[in-house]
Amino acid sequence: YFSWEVLRFLLSNLRMWIADYGFDGFRFDGVTSMLYHHHGIEVFLYGTKSELMIVILCKLHCGFFFLFKDVSGMPALCRPVAEGGGGFDYRLAMAIPDKWIQIIKELKDEDWNMGNIVHTLTNRRHEEKYIAYAESHDQALVGDKTLAFRLMDAEMYTNMSVLSPLTPVIDRGIQLHKMIRLITHALGGESYLNFMGNEFGHPEWLDFPRKGNNESYHYARRQFNLTEDHLLRYRFLNAFDRDMNKLEERFGWLASPQAYVSEKHESNKVIAFERAGLVFIFNFHPYQSYVDYRSFFKYKILLDSDAAEYGGHQRLDHSTEYFSEEYPHNYRPNSLMV
């Protein structure tokens, strides 16, 4: 338990970041240790000091939010204190970045399990808001690898120029990087986060000066300029990320109810779902494209990871409008042929 003096010191620090620097939110790390004083061994005691800190701070200022990292999955932490909850606004969907890294490290492309991916992205409580993120700082710090580096590795140093031939490794990495980010953004939560160190505009990890690296600043930097060089393929990833976020701002799927997943086809490697009036269709098959693929709804293409401006192969006709027909498919009354 915190003494009142310590609590006042912590609160004054939080208030300073709000008043002096205009912070609009705080992330609480290691919340599990605050909740369980016996670390889950035999006796569970629920701590209240973190709640008190939040309640008092809420009285000092309004218009900011709290998010937290908790590995125990305790219910109601994202419900108001008046309801018996923890008073937080968002919880980090920690299983998502772990799942992507596990899939990329351990499975061949043809062995990816669509049902397992969908389960990981949707396995959350309704009315508790989750922050989805495709990769964590844990994968980018102290010698581990970002998603981009896991996908493309050393070829990021030699084959990212548009003046050189597009290699299979770079092609696969760019396409999967876009798809992983979009499906995480659209299906994984009620908010989306880019963690420090996972900026795809830089191929290496982020490592702060510490004893283990002789206090070196060598890896304590990001090269954001790489995305601005039109001769490098990093700009395709940057453009897709920009337009992905602009599309969400336009349609607001993060503030919409959870998605309705209509298809997770294991042999076709296709995932399809609806959210915020949009239809999302992902083809994760490593080599199979589809012609006349039956799906649901109608519509025209708004965001296409295969478009030329995102480093894709332009296999879809954006001028085509797709109309649904009264042909039941995947438990929906109407469908269309894509």
- Backbone angles phi and psi of 273, in degrees to 5: -155, 165
Q: How long a stretch of residues is the chain? A: 338
d(CA 179, CA 274) in angstroms, rounded, equals 16
Domains of the chain, with CATH numbers? Answer: 1-92 (no CATH), 260-337 (2.60.40.1180)
CB 93 within 8 A of CB 189: yes
Grouping H, G, I as helix, E, B as strand and the rest as coil, residue 33 is helix
Spatial distance between the Cα atoms of 77 and 319, rounded to a whole number of angstroms? 47
pLDDT for position 103 = 95
pLDDT per residue as tens, the chain (338 positions): 556 777 778 778 877 888 898 887 777 777 776 676 665 555 554 555 555 566 556 655 556 677 777 777 778 888 877 787 777 888 889 899 999 999 999 999 999 999 999 999 999 988 889 999 998 877 766 556 788 888 998 898 899 999 999 999 999 999 999 999 999 999 999 999 987 645 565 656 667 788 888 998 887 777 778 888 999 999 999 999 999 999 999 999 999 999 999 899 999 999 999 999 898 999 999 998 887 766 655 578 889 999 999 999 998 888 877 666 666 767 777 666 66
* pLDDT value at residue 102: 92
pLDDT at 202: 60
Identify the sign of the CA torsion 311, 314, 320, 321: negative
Global model pTM greater than 0.85 = no
Measured distance CA(326)–CA(332) in Å, rounded: 9
Residue with tokens 């495709």: 134
Give the span between the Cα atoms of 192 and 194, in whole angstroms. 7
